[in-house]
Amino acid sequence: MRKFVISGPESTGKTSLAKALAQHYQTDWVAEYARQFIDNLDRPYQKEDLLDIAKGQVELQKNVALTSKNEPGLICDTDLMTIKIWSEYKYRACDPLIIELLEQNAGDFYFLCGPDLPWEADPQRENPENRMELYLIYKKELEALDRKYVEIWGPWEERVKKAIFYIDNIFEPYTNY
């Protein structure tokens, strides 16, 4: 099963895009496990929690993959690359097991959402002022990991149309667009 990952910094429409694609293809999507995990904490999250979040994200993806229809593939609102980036950005280090899990659970194609949508405040969001800096980190990471991706910018409707176009038309050969 192909895995399509919606990625990018905070408040760039990742969850909305994952939901829109799932609705368009009448399939399930994989939510961001970190939100559920952090919502259930009775304290601020810590660096050590990131490994538990990574493991939970992998498990959630496996569970949704078992129950989801096969076409067009698994639609994921983020993956472990986000946890790696966040760990390195916030804590200047990443647990080696997170990196190992990332390599074992890589997406087949990534949609890198640009930070040109208005910021929407959320108790779990931390970086309204540096979304472009984080975007560039995501892009650099995708390239370093040799992931296939397309950048998604512009108004909401254009983002959805572009993602559908790539899912429907562009698979082989994989190249960065």
Calpha distance 157→120 (Å, rounded)? 18
13-63: pLDDT as tens digits: 999 999 999 999 998 899 999 999 999 999 989 999 999 999 999 999 999
- pLDDT lower than 50: segments of the chain: 172-177
CA–CA separation, 67 and 82 (whole Å)? 24
Going from the C-alpha of 72 to that of each of 86, 119, 160, the distances in angstroms are 29, 30, 15
Q: Quote the pLDDT of residue 173.
A: 37
Total H helices, total E strands in the chain: 7, 5
Listed in order, strand segments (DSSP E) in the chain are: 3-7, 29-30, 74-77, 109-113, 149-152
pTM: 0.91
User: What is the structure's pLDDT at 32?
Assistant: 95
How many whole angstroms separate alpha carbon 21 and alpha carbon 29?
8
Pairing status of strand 109-113 against strand 74-77: unpaired
What pLDDT does residue 122 have? Answer: 72
Specify the CATH number for 3-169; select among 3.40.50.300, 2.40.50.1040, 3.40.190.10, 3.30.1490.190. 3.40.50.300
Nearest alpha carbon to residue 13 among 120, 132, 147, 161: 120
Going from N- to C-terminal start, the domains of the chain cover 3-169
Cα 94–Cα 39–Cα 90 angle in degrees, nearest 5? 25
Give the pLDDT of residue 174.
39
